[in-house]
Chain A
């Protein structure tokens, strides 16, 4: 009996169990503290939806064998540039969102290709190099935001000063476009059907891709590159496909995130954006070598639920300081750290 229980826990993953227990404790305290359960539950759904694509971006990179995509800011910046350009073109609403996506994806395909070439040259060190590639691109783009020749009043500082604002409001453009679409309040929960539907379509797309010839080839490269080579599959080519897909999802993901948040964050904001996405998929049960759509959905849900519930609970218990932020740092970085120490222990 004890053995079976152990095995079950091993299979299910310690991290997931710890997170679920923790979440459970938080939920019980939320009840005890008589917090607004409805707004908590609705908040969880919205946060899950707005982060899901960023987490999903980890799937192609893990499956193609380049590991966790710490270079996600590369894709995120493509999306941000897309949004900035769509605002600069004075588009609004659906048009703006659509244009931002089209531009973002086009840029992401090019950037992902280049980034893929880079990763092919640094095999086995992709995560480390990816992290610093992401960091450098973000700081490089900081200079661009200052010097960029945009004149749209929505984006520049209202009272002079050079460069674009740190956060650009999306209220007049595409803020909340998905959140508001098919938004239905019920008695116990508000469900943003539009937002959830939109992100789940992409989950479905990635799932379908994984059943296609190219998708299968890509996964083969990830799980055994030597086998793949012997089967006539181009290792470098498939890794580039995975990297491009991941980068594209990063670009689309940040647009979903931004429309929900209501603001476009420039400058150093994207610097650490890969980390919550990485942590989420790991919580979902993925490893550096294996990831699936289920991991994405479960992981994003658990991680975001934790954050949403932790904030009011900790504030009620300890009004001073920002305990929930500290908890977030410990949990997300701790989980990544844990995964890194287990890379070699697979077989």
Chain B
């Protein structure tokens, strides 16, 4: 009896370092899981409400988060430029709304229309990022801000001002520029409604999840092809890739184009669920929230998986729902919670990127001291 006890204890001792190591390796998701649980306890939210909110938000955001994976694998870091993909989707959405194509066919037309746009935007982004090697992330972020200016120019002045718009319902009263909010009546739930399960408050858009799963598998498949091998090779070391005959710049552009297309479709799924296009706001935080999500899932600048994307999206959006409620309960001010989650989004990005840069510096130093 005693022997057995000692044995199990020994076994546990052996396992302890493994658990500890695992915890340290996954410290980011673990911390956020703990935060979510504490927040949920404070907020005393109904589990079913939490579940349904998180489910909806996962369906809305997963594909956007997935769109970050390929550039990470290719060594471009986190592509804040997925904002351009979202813009491509919104341009397509406005066109389709303008033409009044509705339902799933409208959705498909939008998805198809957004592809050439995203290829073009992705190609531009890729070329710019090729000129900023080593500074891809901040460049893609600034590119997002810059593109936002051009986007506003297009939607506020060019449409109706230079390009005549026949359908006036989505235009501002003056006839120049698109309204601040465009109701996507024909496209609302276009994808979700194909197959869905409803139970009390809980709505599960099965078909949307199927589409997302297919996309996840497509990414997985792509990374196992010859193309994927070349992308991974570029991601590991551009010089070696170049020396072994891989066209590095072309591969990087390919990665950004793929990411931009996925982001466009992701934004489309997002907006068909919300049903309203905030013409000048819907895309702005896309990059920020997607990047924060994948990092919370434990991804880094150089490593990201589908699993991390799913876990991160779940945790980030749980926190998103819980923190204003917790803020309300704790200090009677939901605003605190809202600022808290903005703080979390920015903070986790800053912290994660900072840690990565620090480790890189340390590694460079250790290399000397080997």
Instruction: Note whether A and B contact each other (Cβ less than 8 A).
Output: yes
Name A's B-contacting residues (CB within 8 A): 70, 118, 121-125, 127-129, 131-133, 135-136, 138-140, 142-143, 146-147, 162-163, 275, 318, 320-323, 326-327, 329-330, 333-334, 336-337, 340-345
Among A162, A163, A320, A333, the residue within 8 A (CB) of B142 is A333
Identify 7 residue pairs between A and B in the complex whose beta-carbon atoms are under 8 Å apart, listed by A's number: A128-B135, A142-B343, A143-B343, A162-B335, A333-B148, A334-B149, A343-B132
Contacts of B142 in A (CB 8 A): 333, 336-337, 340
Contacts of B332 in A (CB 8 A): 162
Least CB distance, A312 to chain B, in whole angstroms: 17
Q: How far is the CA of A118 from the CA of B148 in the complex (A)?
A: 30
Please tell me if the beta carbons of A147 and B331 are within 8 angstroms of each other in the complex: yes
Q: How far is the CA of A5 from the CA of B117 in the complex (A)?
A: 38
Least CB distance, B150 to chain A, in whole angstroms: 6
Please tell me if the beta carbons of B145 and A136 are within 8 angstroms of each other in the complex: no
Contacts of A326 in B (CB 8 A): 149, 152-153, 156-157
Most chain-A Cβ atoms within 10 A of its Cβ — which of B133, B146, B176?
A: B146
The digit string for B141-166, where 1 denotes a CB below 8 A from any CB of A, is: 11101101110110011000100000
Q: Given A129-B353, A133-B350, A337 and B340 touching (CB < 8 A)? A: no
Contacts of B343 in A (CB 8 A): 136, 139-140, 142-143
Question: For chain A, what secondary structure do more than half of its interface residues adopt (helix, strand, loop), or is it mixed?
Answer: helix
Please tell me if the beta carbons of B138 and A329 are within 8 angstroms of each other in the complex: no
Contacts of B134 in A (CB 8 A): 124, 343-344
Q: Which of B6-14, B60-68, B255-263, B354-362 faces chain A? A: B354-362
Please tell me if the beta carbons of B350 and A136 are within 8 angstroms of each other in the complex: yes
Most chain-A Cβ atoms within 10 A of its Cβ — which of B148, B349, B357?
A: B357
Question: 11 new A-B pairs (CB below 8 Å) besides A162-B332, A321-B176, A330-B150?
Answer: A128-B135, A128-B141, A128-B357, A163-B335, A321-B177, A322-B156, A326-B149, A326-B156, A329-B145, A336-B146, A343-B132
Q: How far is the CA of A135 from the CA of B336 in the complex (A)?
A: 16
B137 within 8 A of A: yes
Chain B minimum-CB-distance residue to A336: B142
Please tell me if the beta carbons of B157 and A318 are within 8 angstroms of each other in the complex: yes
Contacts of B43 in A (CB 8 A): none
Q: How far is the CA of A336 from the CA of B340 in the complex (A)?
A: 29
B276 within 8 A of A: no
Least CB distance, B134 to chain A, in whole angstroms: 7
Chain B minimum-CB-distance residue to A129: B354
Q: How far is the CA of A323 from the CA of B154 in the complex (A)?
A: 11
Among B143, B146, B346, B354, the residue within 8 A (CB) of A122 is B354
B293 within 8 A of A: no
Please tell me if the beta carbons of A121 and B128 are within 8 angstroms of each other in the complex: no
Least CB distance, A100 to chain B, in whole angstroms: 24
Q: How far is the CA of A337 from the CA of B139 in the complex (A)?
A: 6
The 5 closest A-B CB pairs, nearest first, are A132-B350, A329-B149, A330-B149, A122-B357, A142-B339
Among A118, A329, A342, the residue within 8 A (CB) of B152 is A329
Among B157, B333, B339, B353, the residue within 8 A (CB) of A132 is B353
The digit string for B309-352, where 1 denotes a CB below 8 A from any CB of A, is: 00000000000000000000001110110011011001101100
Among A118, A146, A333, the residue within 8 A (CB) of B333 is A146
Least CB distance, A318 to chain B, in whole angstroms: 7
B194 within 8 A of A: no
Please tell me if the beta carbons of B342 and A142 are within 8 angstroms of each other in the complex: yes
Among A70, A162, A333, the residue within 8 A (CB) of B146 is A333
Contacts of A327 in B (CB 8 A): 149
Please tell me if the beta carbons of B340 and A143 are within 8 angstroms of each other in the complex: yes
Please tell me if the beta carbons of A132 and B349 are within 8 angstroms of each other in the complex: yes
Q: Given A340-B135, A340-B139, A143 and B339 touching (CB < 8 A)? A: yes
Please tell me if the beta carbons of B350 and A135 are within 8 angstroms of each other in the complex: yes
Chain A minimum-CB-distance residue to B77: A128
Among B141, B153, B350, the residue within 8 A (CB) of A129 is B350
